[in-house]
Amino acid sequence: MKTDSKTILVTGGTGYIGSHTVVELQSQGYKVIIIDNLSNSKPFIVDQITKISGVAPSFHNIDLNNADMVKDFVDDRPEISGVIHFAAFKSVGESVHSPLKYYRNNLNSLIHLLSAFSERKTNLVFSSSCTVYGQPDQLPVTEKAAIKKAESPYGNTKQIAEEILQEVIDARKNCKAISLRYFNPVGAHESALIGELPLGVPQNLVPYFTQSAIGKRGAITIYGDNYEIFDGTCIRDYIHVVDLAKAHVEAIKLLESQTSKNYDVFNIGTGKGTSVLEMINAFQKATGVTLKYTVGSKRSGDITQVWADITKSKNTLNWKAELDLHHMMYSAWQWEQYIHQNPLLQTL
Ligand code: WQD
């Protein structure tokens, strides 16, 4: 079938990575159905996606924790040929304080979704994370690296979810799945109509940069500058969210092809590591805005350094990141200014 006759279900499709992925799917001719319970996103994002791509995805406020509702919804839509599953809680810090909330939501959502498709040949792309590696023994980290004890309940839900997925796919034999292990998603769509919308104080680095730069927050706190790193600050593999979104379309295409394995895993990063201080300099260079920062104590759960080996993604997924740090920072800043100029949007 041509992509314009294929329908993809995107759970969590009004979220940060989900919304960017819906835009990329629609630009490639896929029909998209979004289900989202809006626990960490806003409904106006559906209109923004429509403005960008000229196509209105079908949106349904569905909570994956309601197994019967999910089953009925899926049974009524035999046209769904693939699923991309984003819907999950994702704050490392919050998961430490509320582990049960994370195990219940993140695992029940996946289990109910898999159960709803148990009689179907529907393929699935799962939103996993580099947090499954913990602090790797070797860098860059490959997909074959040892999975270490998770540093947080959030990371553990990703590890357990990958195991559940692999065992269900092996048992079913009538469908296939791919787990994408994201590194650090940053930036926004070039239109500045969608981007990261942290609820409350941003936990992640770049949204804190942009909110500090626009005056919504005070100085940035660098969580430790005495790591055994050239400049003392942690290294991560930051990847533009649009590159990350495109990786999901390639994963759907790979599953549609005859060449994919029943279950496979791919690192989705740039293959380059950047320190916190280098990120501050990159933001200042891209935006012309000077960031104020102080140095605080290390944050519990932080690993020192990680970046991806992307050989497998390049060779098998036929994907690699194209956008650089300048695009990541500039687009994040454009989005922050757009949201600041349109405060009512978040009330919609
Ligand atoms: C990055 C670096 C902090 C904030 C994230 C997601 C996780 C996963 C991987 C998807 C660290 C430092 C941060 C601040 C700081 N993604 N920092 N001051 O912790 O690598 O994990 O990406 O699954 O879900 O949470 O990202 O942006 O929080 O931190 O110094 O105010 O920036 O110590 O070294 P992290 P982050």
Using a 6 Å cutoff on CB, does residue 208 contact ligand 1?
yes
Cα–Cα distance, 226 to 213 (Å, whole number): 25
- The burial of 27, by beta-carbon neighbours within 10 Å (0-12 exposed, 13-18 middle, 19 or more buried), is given as middle
Task: Answer yes or no: is 287 within a domain.
Answer: yes
Nearest to 253 by CA among 316, 170, 167: 316
Question: Does ligand 1 have an atom closer than 6 angstroms to the CB of 278?
Answer: no
Q: How far is CA 66 from the centre of its chain?
A: 23
Domains: count for the chain: 1
φ and ψ of 118, to 5 deg: -60, -25
Find out whether the beta carbon of 203 lies less than 6 Å from any atom of ligand 1.
Answer: yes
Of the chain, the end-to-end C-alpha distance in Å amounts to 37
187 CA distance to ligand 1 middle (Å):
14
* DSSP reduced 3-state for 64: coil
Evaluate the CA torsion angle 97, 103, 108, 111 in order and state its sign.
Answer: positive
Ligand 1 within 6 A of 90 CB? Answer: yes
Q: What pLDDT was estimated at residue 265?
A: 98
Q: Which of 223, 233, 235, 300 to mutate to test the pocket of ligand 1 (most atoms within 8 A of CB)?
A: 223
The per-residue pLDDT for 165 is: 97
Report the atom number in ligand 1 closest to the C-alpha of 202.
31
251-107-302-304 Cα dihedral, nearest 10 degrees: -40
- Helix 241-256 and helix 16-27: axis angle, to 10°? 60
HEC secondary structure over 162-173: HHHHHHHHHHHC
- Domain residues for 316? 7-347
Contact yes or no for 153/99 (Cβ under 8 A)? yes
* Whether residue 234 has its Cβ less than 6 Å from ligand 1: yes
pLDDT of 301:
80
Whether 1 is covered by a domain: the verdict is no
Burial profile 300-320: b = 16 or more Cβ within 10 angstroms, e = fewer: eeebebbbbbbebbeebbebb
Shortest-distance atom of ligand 1 to CA 129: 23
- C-alpha angle 291-322-82 in degrees, rounded to nearest 5: 110
Query: What is the distance in A from the centroid of ligand 1 to the CA of 205?
Result: 6
Q: In Å, what is the CA distance from 334 to each residue of 14, 141, 241?
A: 19, 32, 14
The answer to whether the bond into 43 is cis (omega within 30° of 0) is no
Atom 16 in ligand 1: residue holding the nearest Cα = 184
Cα 72 to Cα 141: distance, rounded to the nearest angstrom: 41
Q: Alpha-carbon torsion 108, 112, 118, 124, what sign? A: negative
Question: Which one-letter DSSP state was computed for residue 126?
Answer: E
Residue at 67 is within a domain: yes
222 lines ligand 1 (CB under 6 A): yes
Residues designated catalytic: 154
- Residue 335 belongs to domain with CATH number: 3.40.50.720
- Per-residue pLDDT of 289-306, as tens digits, reads 999 999 999 998 889 999
pLDDT given at position 348: 72
Residue 97 alpha carbon to ligand 1 centre in Å: 17
Is 272 inside a domain boundary? yes
Nearest CA to ligand 1 atom 23: 129
**CA R_g for the chain:** 19
- Asked whether residue 12 is assigned to any structural domain, the reply reads yes
Of 182, 186, 191, the C-alpha closest to 241 is 186
CA angle at 10 for the pair 5 and 12, rounded to the nearest 5°: 160
Q: Checking DSSP bridges between strand 235-236 and strand 274-275, what pairing results, if any? A: antiparallel
Question: Does any domain span residue 224?
Answer: yes
**2 inside domain:** no
pLDDT < 50 positions in the chain: 1
In a domain, 178, yes or no: yes
Determine contact, residues 134/301, Cβ cutoff 8 Å. no
Residues 290 and 219: their CA atoms lie apart, in Å, by 11
pLDDT at position 343 is: 87
